[in-house]
Amino acid sequence: MGRFYEKLKNRWQSTESLLCVGLDPHSGYLLMEKYPKSQLPCLDFCKEIVDATAEFACAFKFQFACFGGQGMEEDLEQAINHVRMAYPDIPVILDSKRGDIGSTAVEYAEESFMRYGADALTVNPYLGSDCIEVFAGYPDRGVIVLCRTSNPGSAELQELQCGDRMLYEQVAYLAANKWNNNSNISLVMGATQPETLAKVRIMVGDMPFLVPGIGAQGGNLKAVLKYGLTESGHGLMINVSRGIAEAGWRENMDFDFQAVHDAAKSYFDLIKTTKSEIS
């Protein structure tokens, strides 16, 4: 069992949290105006979000594009390091959806796991085993493979029929039966198609799912829990990004981090209450 899964499992058990807090500090947040004297405004913002929500989080997920697109890679590196130093028991996911082969994949893996120090990375499996094996070759790190995503256009490819399976089912089959030699593979399973969680859960057993789509995309939480939980009552990282971070935004450019704390607590409580209703 890899370090990522061990940390995640311990976090599930110690906090009973299934909430993954997403950090997507896009340019619309106007962070330079909020932190006019800061050289690393994105870092300052993320540290405050992390500190406000850590008690409710089973994991933190950093969206790479929101940093790289603004030339704030140093903010990302230091923000992840802040989690590692202040909250070493909470796993960090780098959401960059990498997917390549050979020396290029090696460099992407080095970037994610060594430079940024992420515990896990999202990976696009379209290039097949040649891609996955490079990232999964880090046995202490997690590889979270895109399987059935939450965006409306995902069915164009993911529901293509491949023999007796749809394409997303074939990805799940390979993840469980070919790619998981180091027990460090997880899957992205969108909340907007909860019935697919039931199919994939049967195929992959206790493999963890990263589940986007509950907040702004309107996924059905009760269905996600019903179909996605493992027998132990865990197995899910239910991601909420904008629904937590944007709860603190105010028109006067001030930011209410108590409101962020309260939003994270609200999602934590909602997940816990809904879970008890279906058990």
Question: Out of 34, 47, 97, 272, which one is annotated catalytic?
Answer: 97
CB 11 within 8 A of CB 59: yes
Is residue 97 flagged as an active site residue? yes
Q: Which of 189, 12, 206 is nearest to 90 (CA)?
A: 12
CB 131 within 8 A of CB 123: yes
277 CB neighbour count, 10 Å cutoff: 10
Which of the 8 DSSP states describes residue 89?
T
DSSP string, 223-264: HHHHHH--TTS--EEEEESHHHHGGGB-TTS-B-HHHHHHHH
- E-assigned strands of 110-265? 120-123, 142-148, 161-162, 165-166, 185-189, 209-211, 236-240
Q: Known catalytic residues?
A: 97
